């Protein structure tokens, strides 16, 4: 890999004798990784040989994911570079919290946070660029997340809509990407001596909105995938100087993980900057990352507290439509506790809103909780997202694919012939113990409902 001379000179000056191992590490192959999804019924991968855990990730392993394999298609695993997994661990979301992932695409950190929340609380996962937000929404769906709202908004607009709303806000900032050079060689082409400073200015602008989204007493987590002090320690120094209500917190890191302290001498010299974390490729099997966690001061008096955000009102479905939905769940998913007070219609699609969902009127929403299905003429048809979110024991009828050939037939969109003892109606199709999609059983055949856009 041909690194820019200005880049090498910069880090030779910053790192001194340690620059040799650093620059050499960038010439070596990177390490791939993945996380297992604890939201799934079956959490033992079929296609992957789990050899070694990532030392700082609860669900993380080293290894490569087959994008067309059972584990990936059912959402059991999420491909994520090992160093990036540390960011989610620092967030440490708890069930019942309100959490925002402000620049979330493609979804690695959001799905990690969803794992921690266990379906309880509210996760807002946002991406300003709409095309990337669609990919984010697809990954949230495949992971089976039920309590997430996917939005595509500028941080300033989000701060106006939900000021002081979140217990935790993560900004994985758009950055110069120096930590991804060996993973994405194209990132080298964008780099210039001035690029880190340009990215730092952009991060400051986003942070001006991010701080407004954190509730009094809440937490802001800031991360980058770059080594640049301008975007890392210097940005945190700017943040806590500009917003003194925020203080830098220490970050737990496992012993012998290779994770290093931040470098105060590369910013204003404040000792608190050593509480931030740096992940260097010469010190651990992963790419480059920087992580900082800051706590916002609690409200001093009542005047500083933020008024409770208005909640989203559910839709009043037509009585006939509501009955069709209720009948479907009673017959097809008797183990699913359907809360009809949280149903929301968007056109002919029916969603189950997260509990205590905020008013969506001022939000640009791609996904509002769990898409249950679509109202057709005199019938309700379940959505693919529902098959990925439920556990098989919630379904009245399950068809478990028992061979690689059956799996290939199903994901190709073909009809399955079967002698199984099934009743006419919708059947949950599973692979390796997890929901894969829907089929409709009629006259000894399973009519395939695997989405056309996902077939291969």
247 close to 272: Cβ distance less than 8 angstroms: yes
β-bridge pairing 148-151 and 122-126: parallel
Report the alpha-carbon angle 102-223-221, nearest 5. 65
164 is an annotated ligand-binding site residue: no
103 is an annotated ligand-binding site residue: yes
163 is an annotated ligand-binding site residue: no
154 is an annotated ligand-binding site residue: yes
106 is an annotated ligand-binding site residue: yes
SS3 content of the chain, % helix, strand, coil (to 5): 35, 25, 45
Q: What is the DSSP string of 279-320?
A: E-TTTSSS--EEEEEEEEPPPSSGGGSPPPPPBPPPP---HH
Annotated catalytic residue 225: yes
105 is an annotated ligand-binding site residue: yes
Q: How far apart are the first and last CA of the chain?
A: 34
- Residue 381: Cβ-neighbour burial (10 angstroms; 0-12, 13-18, 19+): middle
DSSP 3-state of 77: strand
267 is an annotated ligand-binding site residue: no
> What distance in Å separates the CA atoms of residue 407 and residue 405, rounded to the nearest whole number?
5
Among all chains, which residue has been given the structure tokens 């040799």? 20
What Å distances lie between residue 232 and 193, 203, 223, 257, CA to CA? 16, 10, 8, 20
114 is an annotated ligand-binding site residue: no
172 is an annotated ligand-binding site residue: yes
> What distance in Å separates the CA atoms of residue 213 and residue 39, rounded to the nearest whole number?
27
Q: Which of 199, 225, 357, 371 is catalytic?
A: 225
Q: What is the dihedral of CA 124, 125, 128, 133, to 10 degrees?
A: -130
Report the catalytic residues: 225
Residue ranges for the known binding site for S-adenosyl-L-methionine are 103-109, 127, 154, 172
- Which residue positions form the known binding site? 103-109, 127, 154, 172
């Amino acid at each position: 890999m041909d690194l820019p001379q200005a880049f090498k000179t910069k880090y030779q000056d910053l790192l001194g004798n340690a620059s040799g191992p650093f620059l050499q590490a960038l010439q070596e192959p990177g390490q791939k990784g993945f996380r297992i999804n604890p939201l799934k019924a079956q959490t033992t991968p079929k296609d992957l040989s789990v050899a070694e855990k990532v030392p700082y990730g609860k669900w993380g392993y080293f290894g490569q994911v087959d994008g067309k394999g059972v584990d990936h298609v059912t959402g059991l695993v999420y491909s994520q570079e090992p160093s990036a997994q540390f960011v989610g661990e620092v967030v440490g979301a708890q069930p019942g919290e309100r959490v925002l992932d402000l620049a979330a695409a493609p979804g690695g950190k959001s799905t990690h946070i969803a794992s921690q929340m266990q379906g309880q609380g509210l996760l807002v996962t946002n991406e300003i660029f709409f095309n990337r937000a669609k990919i984010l929404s697809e990954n949230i769906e495949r992971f089976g997340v039920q309590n997430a709202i996917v939005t595509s908004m500028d941080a300033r607009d989000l701060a106006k809509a939900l000021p002081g709303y979140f217990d935790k806000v993560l900004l994985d900032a758009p950055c110069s990407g120096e930590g991804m050079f060996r993973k994405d060689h194209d990132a080298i082409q964008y780099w210039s001596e001035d690029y880190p400073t340009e990215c730092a200015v952009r991060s400051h602008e986003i942070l001006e909105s991010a701080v407004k989204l954190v509730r009094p007493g809440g937490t802001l987590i800031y991360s980058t995938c770059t080594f640049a002090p301008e975007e890392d320690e210097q940005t945190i120094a700017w943040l806590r100087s500009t917003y003194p209500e925020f203080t830098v917190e220490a970050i737990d890191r496992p012993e012998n993980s290779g994770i290093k302290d931040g470098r105060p001498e590369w910013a204003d010299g404040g000792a608190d900057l050593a509480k931030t974390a740096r992940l260097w490729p010469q010190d651990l099997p992963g790419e480059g990352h920087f992580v900082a966690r800051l706590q916002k001061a609690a409200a001093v008096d009542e005047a500083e507290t933020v008024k409770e955000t208005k909640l989203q009102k559910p839709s009043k479905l037509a009585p006939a439509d509501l009955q069709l939905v209720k009948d479907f769940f009673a017959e097809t998913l008797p183990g699913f506790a359907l809360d009809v007070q949280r149903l929301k219609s968007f056109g002919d699609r029916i969603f189950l809103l997260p509990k205590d969902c905020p008013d969506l009127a001022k939000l640009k929403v791609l996904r509002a909780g769990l898409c249950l299905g679509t109202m057709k003429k005199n019938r309700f048809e379940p959505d693919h997202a529902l098959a990925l979110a439920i556990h098989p024991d919630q379904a009245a009828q399950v068809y478990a694919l028992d061979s690689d050939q059956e799996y290939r037939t199903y994901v190709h969109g073909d009809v399955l012939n079967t002698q199984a003892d099934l009743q006419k109606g919708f059947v949950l199709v599973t692979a390796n113990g997890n929901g894969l999609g829907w089929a409709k059983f009629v006259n000894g055949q399973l009519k395939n409902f695997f989405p056309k856009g996902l077939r291969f």
